[in-house]
Amino acid sequence: MAVEATTLASSLHIDPTDSELAVLTSLISTAQALVKSSVSTTMSDDDYAKQPLYDACVTALATALYYDRTLDNGMPRAVKIMITHLQAHVGGI
């Protein structure tokens, strides 16, 4: 399962206007890049798709980015925990 902008908009109770979906799509892409670079730079997208925790991590980080685009408060603790578990599961960077 991949994180979709429409699904994220629904879970955040955001009206799925074209502009909001464009923002969410961009934030999801940013979150995916951050998580992948934190977990493993050699894993394929197919391998990430097999990790249910990956989607949860991307969703949590995209949500955090929606409300705090600069992550002034740092990466959320839940995201850090999920990244640590993903690193342990796949063998790290």
Q: Each residue of 18-73: pLDDT tens digit?
A: 999 999 999 999 999 999 999 998 999 999 999 989 999 999 999 999 999 888 88
0.85 exceeded by pTM: yes
Q: What is the pLDDT of residue 91?
A: 73
Cβ-Cβ contacts under 8 Å for 8 (sequence gap 6 or more)? 14, 24, 28, 59, 62, 63
Q: What is the pLDDT of residue 7?
A: 97
